[in-house]
Structure 1
Amino acid sequence: MNPTSSHDRDHEDHLQLPKRQKICHSNKENDLPYGRYTIAWICALYIETAAAIAMLDEKHGELPRCPNDDNAYTLGSISNHNIVIASLPQGRIGNNNAANVVTNLTRTFPSIRHGLMVGIGGAAPANKDIRLGDIVVGTRVMQYDLGKILSGGEIQRTAVSETPHQSLCTAVANLRANHETHPSRVMAIIQERMQRYIDYHRPAVPDNLFQASYEHNPSMASCQTCDHSKLESREVRRSCDPKIHYGAIASSNQVMKDAVTRDRVAQELDIICFEMEAAGLMDVLPCLPIRGICDYSDSHKAKDWQKYAAAVAAAYAREFLEALPATSETQRDFRLNACPPEQMNPGNRRQRLMESLEFDQIDSRRTTIKTAYSKTCSWFLKHPDYLAWLDPGKQSQHHGFLWIQGKPGAGKSIIMKFIYTKQKNTDIPVKAITISFFFNARGDLLETSVSGMYRSLLLQLLEGFPDLQTILDDPDLIPRNQVTCPPLNILKDLFRSAISSLEERALTCFVDALDECDEQQMRDMVEFFEEVAEQCVEDNVRFQVCFSSRHYPYIDIKSGIQLTLEGQDGHNDDLRHYISKRLSIQDPALVEELKEMMLEKAAGVFLWVALVVDILNKENRRGRLALRTRLQEVPSELSELFRDILTRDQEHMEDLLLSILWILLAKRPLNPGEYYHGLWSGLSLKRKGDREMPPANTSDASDCFSKCVISSSKGLAEITKGKKPTVQFIHESVRDFLVQDKGLYKLWPELGTDWESQGHEELKLCCNAYVFHEAIGKALDEQKSTDARVLKDNLLKQFPFLEYANQFVLRHADAAAHKITQQQFISEFPVIRWVQIFNIFEKHKVRKYDQEADILYILADRGLPNLIRIRLETAPVVDGGGGRYRHPLLAAMAKGNKESVIALLGLPSSIHNGVDITDSLKCKIDSVRKDHTPFSWACEEGHVAIAELLLQNGARVIEADLVRIMKSGNPEIVKMLLDKGVDTAAADKYGWMLLHRALLSGNLEIVKMLLDKGVDTAAANQH
């Protein structure tokens, strides 16, 4: 495998942080000098570097390269530690290369105190029950391939064990002790940091450990045909969560791939893991090795577990750094490098930190929830459990916890909003404050994560009691010159610190819909609140928390009051009252009869009642001919009720399907204007809408948008309230019905079981028709001379769907191409107009395309492999530029679009001649130069399999490329070229020959290769 040296965050398309996971930030104002970095994080492989970067709280800007240091660094911070992430050069793994990297690193960053060697490793499972995906933390390291050969061929090892720095060992012991009573946060960190990186999730492949004597057949690419009777018998684990093992690690410059040797070395040295770099670091910088187990160090090695193993190792490293105290040198550096008072006074800094806590949609869910209907919910204020919760004298019994549980749609959120509002109205300024957070599974990342919750709650608390903002001045929590949002662990510490400083004041928190955030995050959050509440009881601080959630997943709390909503007399009375007031029937006796029938079928679910009241009112407007019959026909299950609502009248089903598809499959949530115009575009194609594009900037546009959302979705969608409103389903149970319960397939069986492909095809047609509508073409022609920014604003006002449609039309086509051919679509696609519109909306000049950009280049650059294959069927030449990389293959390779590279090379999969050609396919974006060809770039970056395939496909090797490739010093690449018979007398424009470059770089292995090939040394000497 060949590691990558660096990442450019803005262009990591295969690992780009989506909007729902905005964790790592880069802030030029927060760039730090070399002396401020104290932690070295070393990675050997690109997947390890990718996982490491995902762990950062903040990514810092690059520093100028120091003389004689060829390393590439990623700089950032975790907790109070400033971190240098360094990667081994492409294709140069092993102890010696690791030592070279760390030597340069410590010279460039003189304040480095600790090192972490984080990545993947192979298990030695004979002595311990170590499984794939487990974590090994090295307590000592031995380079086992150093020694001398005695008589008889026996090898006497001469290397001695090295141990990490004492302070690292102490921190490991403390964290290990903490794990005895508190579970490791590794999985919570994985959920938070790697949730959207699907390739880094736990793989769905078996964890097989074969007997040491049973070797893998080298001709087989996988173990599917291996004899499974040779598997070791192991107990089934109750949990898939990784276990953490502590022990010795064996390090070598060779890969361990023999199980018999593995067990013998493990027995002799008492080790539990094999790897290839840690021993090289220990003499330069005593480091802590952290390894995620990806194989069993045997001939059955496979790459399926490597990314997940890299992720769990990085997650443990983050947890370790969160627990590792900052050194005194670090604290002193903070003080020496803090901004002077005249540049950053405390008041301004606090204000900027307060602003950093804010985010879009911070209170969107709470404001979107309907206000309780008149005279409902009041019973809750008199309920004995609620009164006991409010009673300060009983805080020691329930620790301030009240947990409201109920079925989906029972009305929990309405109750929560009601009692939150009532409680907030009783707040006494300076003495009591009520704050809230309402999770929203249909919202952006921060609306569904505990990070968003802590940011929101902390912001409300500090705004309510401004004197508590002094906690932001604590340098032990936030460095003095930091003005960006702190990471999750610091947010928790700040929240805890603020609560402990309340003194005589009272704080009440309402947190709604816990089931709509990640389960592990929820469990960690509840445990945190329990700890804070327990401390508040001891300190006599008035702190109350009210949670609400579905019945599952079940969470147990040590102390607290739990209340189930359905079955409460007051809740049933609310349902009766709602029915009485909202049912538009004049006959009181009939109302009572229907009411009892509805209450029995509703089983306490308010959403069911609300929907059925509307159904009966509609029936009543028809003349009250079949009210009882209609009610009897209504299903009692909520999901079946959704189906009944959607299919009852069979009217405007085209509108309904498009509405559902846009909400389910849009690449991001649509705002009302986008939704309205997107729907119109699809309907106009079916001649169900006006031919003329609807106006978007009229006085009643907002009202039109709202009516359209309700009517097209048959009342099952709504517009959120907030700074940036979007269209979503009225309740998460609607999505559950359509997807989990297969409601969409049952309603439209013609879509097939793979309804997503057909759905993306529909959305592609909507986008395509809109982008290339004559009205937009006319507007572009009329505003050619308009300033670019003004033009963009004008277009968005006139055509609110244009930016989305242009940006995602090709992506929807690629998603549809799994089942539906896109050949005609691609061959007729108006590239020039698409590029014109794309460039108008693209903020970064470097990402814009040339007007003559080729469609294949665009597909490669945007990572659309299905469309690439379709394009190559009719135009099989892989060529054509149109952007900064100048060639489709360069664009795909530089951005790490693996599937696009495979498609461009015409391969059915990434496996070619038994080798995964996309292994290590990710490099620093800047490494693609203007004089590169795909072949020369692949060679210089160490992509041997790709380079060999390009040669087979007729790639031409020019002399200048050959010398430059020789300079890169990759023996495997050089051997391949020499075997192909390249001209060993080739020279570059300066007269440097291959032998010159090899000698100059000091690569004796390549020099020997050239001499063995009979290079003309006399000719070289003449130069």
Structure 2
Amino acid sequence: MRTKLREFLADYILQASETSSVQIYVDALDEAGEMVARDLLAYFDGLTTKSGDRDRNMKICLSSRHYPLNALVLGRPVYVQRQNDEDIATYAEEKLKSQITDAEELRVLKEEVKNRASGSFLWAVLVIPVILRLHKYLELGTIRRKIGELPPDLDSLYTDILNEIQDDEERSRALRLIEWICFARRPLDMGELRYAVAVGSDASPASLQEWRMSDEYVETDSKMEQATVHLSCGLVEILQQNERRVAQFIHQSVKDYLIQGGGLQRLRGSSMIISVGSVEHRLSRTCIRYLAMEEVMNHCGSDRIGRNTGSEVRLLNYATTYWISHAETVEESGMSQGDLLGLLRWPSNSILACWITTYRKVHPWEYRSPAPNMTLLHIGAKHGFLSVIETTVDQQKSIGLDERDEDDRTPLLWAAASGHEAVVKLLLETGKVEADSKGQHGRTPLSWAAASGHEAVVKLLLETGQVEVDSEDEDDQTPLLGAAASGLP
């Protein structure tokens, strides 16, 4: 499908260029990642090759940070950083004169910024607030010396900026804030961040009312905006996105530095490498702790769910939608998630039942919505949380290993349909599940695995000797037909 779409787009562009001028702009190519960037370059190179004489009607402009792409020699390169000096000087003068009234001081500092920036506009943007702070209590000569000591590369500059956070409690809050902005599945608004940062702290109030009385809680969105910029030392900005005020990094290079350049590790003040899995673990547990709060549980049947009510449930939409996504990344990292049993109060299903009700209200038309009456074992099987299933078996809490949800599916059916081989193997090894149980529409685990193209799972089920190979579902489809349709050998 992807190849056909590429061919269709290429044919359409080439055909259009025969009679019209075609201009293609691709911004921030570096943010796609090296493999995708190289792939796109090869694609556009192919377009220009195919165009022949028509390339006079076709113009392709790509923008990127410095990038190790040899293929970028195509066409005529323009190095913006070599043309930035006067723009940087103009920008510096406009920002500095808001506080510096002496004409000579303004001229000298403007030139210092222009010369030290070496064409990097972002470097100038980051350094000017530092200069304005220094100007409040230092003489011109000292300020010039301090500017000269600032590192020329962005990563070192980011390190220096974050090193300004000296207080341990403030550093902890800054870390929680920045982790959310780094790894949230979508930009968070101020109301969501207020609760995400507070609930993610080491304190453990049982209710949102207790949180609102704690030092971790920020009372208003406007104060959260100020706190966000302050705690990030200006590396995060607040933007208007439709009706929401959301937080994002001032530049992609900030996120790259934090995740790939060891910035999060330095901010935590630890010599140990901070893994993505450990951060995702904290975020997923923050979501779960929030969903388990008394006020949120009481709100799960409300018709207002999904709306921005301005109340304590501002994080409800995000926590409901994405805690599973964060937990999936945790599982992929190899971290155990046996703690989910305690957090979700297994074998009680109260928290999950409330979550399912909320999810189906927030996303009424989504086919992947969790089915009513799903238990933690169904969720674990569906999403490949092997450590959850292992913990229930190890603790001899394997209650409901063969229980059915409202769609008449058992954990084994979910695991087989999703292709989670290790989960299927473990469930079968317990001897407490029916390998050939029929669910909705008469489909068995073998039917689901075959139709979904999960060869390893099909082999596991066949090896039990307990499955009916020619079993027909309500549509008269057999596992063999499903396997053929999915392309299994």
The TM-score normalised by the length of structure 2 is 0.73
Report if aligned partners of 1:863, 1:892 keep a CA contact under 8 Å in 2.
Answer: yes
In the alignment, structure 1 residue 879 sits paired with structure 2 residue 398: no
Equivalent AA in structure 2 for residue 802 of structure 1: L
Query: What is the aligned partner in structure 2 of residue 555 from structure 1?
Result: 71
Query: What is the aligned partner in structure 1 of residue 9 from structure 2?
Result: 491
In the alignment, structure 1 residue 792 sits paired with structure 2 residue 305: yes
Partners of 1:771 and 1:718 in 2: how far apart? 28
Report if aligned partners of 1:768, 1:809 keep a CA contact under 8 Å in 2.
Answer: yes
Equivalent AA in structure 2 for residue 645 of structure 1: I
Report if aligned partners of 1:602, 1:609 keep a CA contact under 8 Å in 2.
Answer: yes
Specify the SS of the correspondent of 2:63: strand
- Deviation, 1:556, is 5.0
Change (3 A) 1:690 1:746: farther
Q: 2:162 aligned to 639, 643, 646, which one?
A: 646
Partners of 1:771 and 1:932 in 2: how far apart? 33
- Deviation, 1:705, is 5.8
Specify the SS of the correspondent of 2:77: strand
Specify the SS of the correspondent of 2:390: helix
Partners of 1:514 and 1:966 in 2: how far apart? 50
- Deviation, 1:766, is 1.8
Change (3 A) 1:573 1:759: same
> How far does the alpha carbon of each residue in 1:768-807 deviate from its partner, in whole angstroms, 9 at most, with x for none?
2211222223334xxx5x6xxx343457664232132134
Partners of 2:192 and 2:380 in 1: how far apart? 24
Partners of 1:896 and 1:632 in 2: how far apart? 58
- Deviation, 1:838, is 2.1
Query: What is the aligned partner in structure 1 of residue 372 from structure 2?
Result: 850
Query: What is the aligned partner in structure 2 of residue 582 from structure 1?
Result: 95
Report if aligned partners of 1:835, 1:849 keep a CA contact under 8 Å in 2.
Answer: no
Report if aligned partners of 1:671, 1:724 keep a CA contact under 8 Å in 2.
Answer: no
Report if aligned partners of 1:939, 1:947 keep a CA contact under 8 Å in 2.
Answer: no
Report if aligned partners of 2:191, 2:314 keep a CA contact under 8 Å in 1.
Answer: yes
> How far does the alpha carbon of each residue in 1:671-707 deviate from its partner, in whole angstroms, 9 at most, with x for none?
55434432232248478x984559xxxxx97655644
Coordinate RMSD, CA, aligned:
4.1
Partners of 1:551 and 1:966 in 2: how far apart? 57
Unaligned runs of 5+ residues in structure 1 are 1-55, 57-192, 194-317, 323-486, 695-699, 908-925, 952-956, 970-1023
Change (3 A) 1:792 1:839: same
Query: What is the aligned partner in structure 2 of residue 573 from structure 1?
Result: 86
Q: Which has the higher strand share?
A: 1
Specify the SS of the correspondent of 1:761: helix
Report if aligned partners of 1:814, 1:867 keep a CA contact under 8 Å in 2.
Answer: no
Residues 84-233 of structure 1 correspond to what in structure 2 (within 5 A)?
193=2
Query: What is the aligned partner in structure 1 of residue 229 from structure 2?
Result: 710
Q: 1:775 aligned to 287, 295, 304, which one?
A: 295
Q: 1:658 aligned to 176, 189, 200, which one?
A: 176
Report if aligned partners of 2:417, 2:445 keep a CA contact under 8 Å in 1.
Answer: no
- Deviation, 1:893, is 0.8
> How far does the alpha carbon of each residue in 1:703-746 deviate from its partner, in whole angstroms, 9 at most, with x for none?
55644543343322235555587643221211221222222223
Query: What is the aligned partner in structure 2 of residue 681 from structure 1?
Result: 199
- Deviation, 1:658, is 1.4
Change (3 A) 1:585 1:848: same
Partners of 1:493 and 1:719 in 2: how far apart? 41
Query: What is the aligned partner in structure 1 of residue 28 from structure 2?
Result: 513
- Deviation, 1:634, is 1.9
- Deviation, 1:755, is 2.7
Partners of 2:309 and 2:80 in 1: how far apart? 46
Change (3 A) 1:947 1:708: farther
- Deviation, 1:629, is 4.6
Partners of 2:220 and 2:47 in 1: how far apart? 45
- Deviation, 1:826, is 1.2
Q: 1:633 aligned to 120, 130, 149, which one?
A: 149
Identical columns (%): 24
Partners of 2:72 and 2:247 in 1: how far apart? 35
Change (3 A) 1:642 1:893: same
Equivalent AA in structure 2 for residue 549 of structure 1: S
Specify the SS of the correspondent of 1:892: helix
Equivalent AA in structure 2 for residue 493 of structure 1: D
Report if aligned partners of 1:684, 1:691 keep a CA contact under 8 Å in 2.
Answer: no
- Deviation, 1:948, is 4.0
In the alignment, structure 1 residue 808 sits paired with structure 2 residue 322: yes
Query: What is the aligned partner in structure 1 of residue 487 from structure 2?
Result: none
Question: How many residue pairs are counted as aligned between the two chains?
Answer: 435
Report if aligned partners of 2:10, 2:47 keep a CA contact under 8 Å in 1.
Answer: no
- Deviation, 1:638, is 0.6
Q: Which has the higher contact order (CA 8 A, sep 6+)?
A: 1
Partners of 1:679 and 1:499 in 2: how far apart? 52
Specify the SS of the correspondent of 2:100: coil
Query: What is the aligned partner in structure 2 of residue 612 from structure 1?
Result: 127
Residues 41-56 of structure 1 correspond to what in structure 2 (within 5 A)?
56=1
In the alignment, structure 1 residue 728 sits paired with structure 2 residue 241: no
Query: What is the aligned partner in structure 2 of residue 522 from structure 1?
Result: 40
Partners of 2:356 and 2:111 in 1: how far apart? 59
- Deviation, 1:810, is 4.8
Q: 2:18 aligned to 491, 500, 510, which one?
A: 500
Change (3 A) 1:840 1:619: same
Partners of 1:631 and 1:939 in 2: how far apart? 65
Change (3 A) 1:747 1:875: same
Report if aligned partners of 1:738, 1:744 keep a CA contact under 8 Å in 2.
Answer: yes
Partners of 2:134 and 2:383 in 1: how far apart? 51
Change (3 A) 1:938 1:948: farther
Equivalent AA in structure 1 for residue 82 of structure 2: G
Partners of 1:939 and 1:628 in 2: how far apart? 70
Partners of 1:679 and 1:723 in 2: how far apart? 23
- Deviation, 1:649, is 3.0
Change (3 A) 1:797 1:906: farther
Query: What is the aligned partner in structure 1 of residue 262 from structure 2?
Result: 742
Query: What is the aligned partner in structure 1 of residue 413 from structure 2?
Result: 890
Report if aligned partners of 2:92, 2:110 keep a CA contact under 8 Å in 1.
Answer: yes
Query: What is the aligned partner in structure 1 of residue 482 from structure 2?
Result: none
Query: What is the aligned partner in structure 1 of residue 477 from structure 2?
Result: none
- Deviation, 1:829, is 1.2
The TM-score normalised by the length of structure 1 is 0.38
Partners of 1:702 and 1:529 in 2: how far apart? 48
In the alignment, structure 1 residue 601 sits paired with structure 2 residue 109: no
Change (3 A) 1:903 1:633: farther
Specify the SS of the correspondent of 2:151: coil
Specify the SS of the correspondent of 1:889: helix
Residues 367-446 of structure 1 correspond to what in structure 2 (within 5 A)?
none
Change (3 A) 1:898 1:716: farther
- Deviation, 1:610, is 1.0
Residues 245-394 of structure 1 correspond to what in structure 2 (within 5 A)?
318=3
Report if aligned partners of 2:416, 2:446 keep a CA contact under 8 Å in 1.
Answer: no
Q: 1:901 aligned to 406, 420, 424, which one?
A: 424
- Which structure's CA Rg is the greater one? 1
